[in-house]
Structure 1
Amino acid sequence: MDFARQGHTNAARGLLADALLASTSSLDPEPRLGFTCSLGVASLYRVLALVNLEDKSPSRSLQQQHVALRYQHLANVWVTHVWEKFARREDGGGPGEGWAWYDRSYIDESAWPIGLKELNIEMHVVQNTLADAKADQASRPRSTTTPESWRDVSLNIGIASVCAYPPENPLPRYAASNHGAYAARHGYRYRLEQRNLAPERPPAWGKVRLLQQVLEEELDVDWWLWFDCDTFFMNMSVTLDSLLYRYAAAAGGLDADVHMLAAEDAAMLNTGAFLLRRSEWSRSFLRRVWGKQDSIWISHPWWENAAMIWDLLRFNSEKFRHGLNDDVYPKEVRILPQFEFNSYHPATAQMLHDTWMPGKFVLAFNGFQLRVAGNPKKAWRAGAGYYATPAAYGTGYAAMPPRRLVH
């Protein structure tokens, strides 16, 4: 950092980029070497973000903030591995019964220049700076005239979801009803899988397997929306076509170079809902994310989400080694504001992430505890709360779930 503060930011970036090449086997899709010291790699990304923020040139400061924010996202990917695998504790020391906590000696009190609190504060400072500046050109609609209900009948769109839960769990029933009704309303294909498609891996990896299948099998579908089982369409009048045409439009239709539309929350790219074009780019992306049979990402706490973040952002330390003439994500990826299709329940939004309210398109219950005193229906009542009465919001809004199903 002293090097950067003395005005040698390019040299500092180069040194850190070299260290990342060495510690991640040249930014390999399977950076097995890096996982032998995840905290060291996390520290490199944290310091690289700080070095970028040291460059105070007015003409470059906002782009530096964008670059720094994605380095912070990568630092989160790596430090979370340490937190979950080595520092997490379940019993004693937490704020109350059943709360997880972490042993500070593994992270905050280590010799590495990183702490969870500092990293999160730094990340939110950058996010707030960018939000105040309204500076994210990449997240702005390309078209502001496309109605939310726009439907291109020549465009075939599908919705894919995996709901592999025990038979007594009500979630698959609620999801199938909500997703199916939305798909039927707009003429979309709906592919729901209730089997575990990746029994050799944690269940979340079924997402990648199902997307690989539909891209190979459903050759008449142009775009697929991946939609987590605990995510629900709330404003039924908003179409997926409208998202595509607002954020991936080009002269005469959709931009042929855009293959993925996704959203970031306040912590990282979140893959609970994203759009993927049926293309060779998408197939190659999913193959890299799936990785080898013994992929190092299989047991990461964020599973396939971490693998996707790494795949999309891993080359940034090389891309921005000498300049800022590129986007933080590959040109094939468009990042939408979270409110467009991945708003969170207040219990998980916690004033940090985008919070669902009447009128918004999607409500995601990711991270929401589905069981209350062993009764999943009570949990749905606690979580759904005032969302359960569609009539309160007028025509076009979906219940989640209807009160008659919650006792």
Structure 2
Amino acid sequence: MGGRVWRRLAALGVLCARCTVAQGPPVPETQLPAGLRQWIGLDFCGQERWIAFHGGLAEVVKEFNNRDFEPALLRLAELLVPVAQSTEAAFSCATAVASALALAAQCCDQLQRPVLAARFRQLSAIFGSYDYQMKGEDYINDSPWPINWKQNMEGILRSMAFLKQHEVQAEPWRSLPARAAATRGAAKRRVAIVTVCDYDPTVTPLARLSKLNRDAYAKMHGYDVVMYEKAPLFADPLAELLTEPLAHRPPAWSKVDALLETLAQGRHDWVMWLDCDSFFMDPEVRLEEVIALAESRCPAAPGDDAARLRDLVAKWQTGPEKEPESLLDWYDNLLESYAVEGAGCDAFEPPATAPSNRTLGWSEWLFRETRPQLVASEDGLMLNTGVMLARASIWSWAFFQKVRWMTFGRSPVTQHPWWEQTAMVYLLQFPFVLAEARGGRDLAASGPALGFAAAWAPVAQKTINGYPPLVSSALLTHSTFEHGDFIVSFSGCKIYSSQEVCNQLFLNYFFQVHSLEELARDPALQPWL
């Protein structure tokens, strides 16, 4: 491996000679969305920062080839921290960052830190997938950076398969259906279920099915349903920083706006995001039970998070009395005035040497909170945002605002193929993984070092979002839904099947839990029955 790495690194002159030329996309550029089109083929790897980065990476390769894995890992962290401080900078030569993260994972493999290796590979996938979309696989493979697209992705899948096995061994409930894993008798919470369903009813019955499914489940347990037929856009004084045309904004970002809109109402203890193409399949499972399962590792301290959040939101929406030098700084000061440390759990340790960046969100509010604030699963690749539960708290407000802030101005994150997932991983994992590179230990599912924010309580895909065999057999990173599981998700169906097949799949699963006889006269469903 070492010789191959060095030959690639020695090709810097080739890179600089063609720094403005890149592999074209796999589909005609005219067929791409306008917002994405402006990023296709852009290559800034010839900038001075990347020439210096390349030199530093060459030194790391020497250490790696000499089997000095610990110094190599430390040097990689030092190389990555300055670049990671800006998403614009980091994605300007994403293949370089992906290669450094992949090399860090290989160092961890050699140091017998397989969990940390998996976390580094997840981050490598974030950057590699960006250039894969913008420039193509050949660009990555033929670059002077020590990385091969296919080999890197195969390595990620192997690492994540190990990680999932490790998690089940540490926490056996992860292999159980939600009904068997969840805590019975959990206290009642005020919960809102939030969804955006912007689908043409003449093409698919999905929006109607989703509404009926949510309404029935919410009525059974006393929850609220917040359902948008069009993508919302959160409005506050910071909205002026969304300078790109709204038509350029991918629809996936609407979940962040919808969550902020609902959090801002201050009427709930928890807010659930549920993709439109997901159904509740075991209505007996209460969301409070899933929350209690997530809180079992670090119970929340008593207190009215919603009241403090309402007070913050009132000041947030009013904004500064006079124009500040920096609007973002003013809002960061406001956030810091409300941020509090969590009740604390001895099982978790905040990172001692995490890189900090207040605007990015790498701050004390992110590092020190240990109570579960966000409940979401990981698939076989990384964080899955199709189903999430967020506590109505200052932390959640700060978190989703910082995710939103990554789309301000002309941002590469906005057009990343994984959209808001990228921004969330950038916050939840990147600074923690870089910090643990200096830790001299591996990570663990139960602490003290997790490699991600302790405020995120990961649950199993089986707990909250399995996939039909039609989808999971094609997307090998996704767990298969089995009879008795809580929620089924159809995300990815249209990639591998026709709209007609997906429609039949929606109807088939829907009528496993709803009465065909009772809904046969529903005007919106009649054309599909």
Task: Judge same fold: TM > 0.5, yes or no.
Answer: yes
The answer to whether the aligner puts 1:338 opposite 2:452 as a matched pair is no
Q: Which residue of 2 aligns with 1:379?
A: 502
Q: 1:5-404 residue pairs with structure 2 within 5 A?
A: 6-24=66-84, 27-28=85-86, 31-56=87-112, 64-87=113-136, 104-134=137-167, 137=170, 148=182, 150=184, 152-168=186-202, 169-198=204-233, 199-200=246-247, 201-217=249-265, 219-249=266-296, 250=298, 257-291=371-405, 292-323=408-439, 324=441, 326-350=449-473, 351-369=476-494, 376-381=499-504, 383-384=505-506, 387=509, 389-390=511-512, 397-398=513-514
Assess, with a 3 A threshold, how the Cα gap between structure 1 residues 209 and 388 changes in structure 2: closer, same or farther. Answer: closer
Contact 1:202–1:298 under 8 Å retained in 2: yes
Distance 1:230 1:195 in 2: 15
Which has the larger share of helix? 2
- CA deviation after TM superposition for structure 1 residue 363, in Å: 0.6
Distance 2:76 2:66 in 1: 16
Please state whether the residue corresponding to 2:401 is helix, strand or coil. helix
Q: How many residues align?
A: 368
Contact 1:234–1:398 under 8 Å retained in 2: no
Assess, with a 3 A threshold, how the Cα gap between structure 1 residues 78 and 163 changes in structure 2: closer, same or farther. Answer: same
Identity %: 26
- CA deviation after TM superposition for structure 1 residue 108, in Å: 2.3
Distance 1:279 1:37 in 2: 36
- CA deviation after TM superposition for structure 1 residue 332, in Å: 0.8
Distance 2:300 2:399 in 1: 27
Name which of structure 1's ranges 37-46 and 254-263 shifts more when overlaid on structure 2. Answer: 254-263
Q: Give unpaired runs (5+ residues) of structure 2.
A: 1-60, 234-245, 303-341, 344-370, 442-447
Distance 1:54 1:253 in 2: 41
The Cα RMSD (Å) is 3.0
Assess, with a 3 A threshold, how the Cα gap between structure 1 residues 133 and 312 changes in structure 2: closer, same or farther. Answer: closer
Distance 1:166 1:370 in 2: 18
Which has the larger share of strand? 1
- CA deviation after TM superposition for structure 1 residue 109, in Å: 2.9
Distance 1:330 1:69 in 2: 16
Name which of structure 1's ranges 7-16 and 221-230 shifts more when overlaid on structure 2. Answer: 7-16
Q: Give unpaired runs (5+ residues) of structure 1.
A: 57-63, 88-103, 391-396
Letter in 2 for 1:387: Y
Distance 1:149 1:138 in 2: 14
Letter in 2 for 1:182: Y
Contact 1:289–1:308 under 8 Å retained in 2: yes
Please state whether the residue corresponding to 2:150 is helix, strand or coil. helix
Distance 2:187 2:490 in 1: 31
Q: Which has the larger radius of gyration?
A: 2
- CA deviation after TM superposition for structure 1 residue 321, in Å: 2.7
Please state whether the residue corresponding to 1:263 is helix, strand or coil. strand
Letter in 1 for 2:208: R
| TM-score using structure 2 length | 0.63
| TM-score using structure 1 length | 0.81
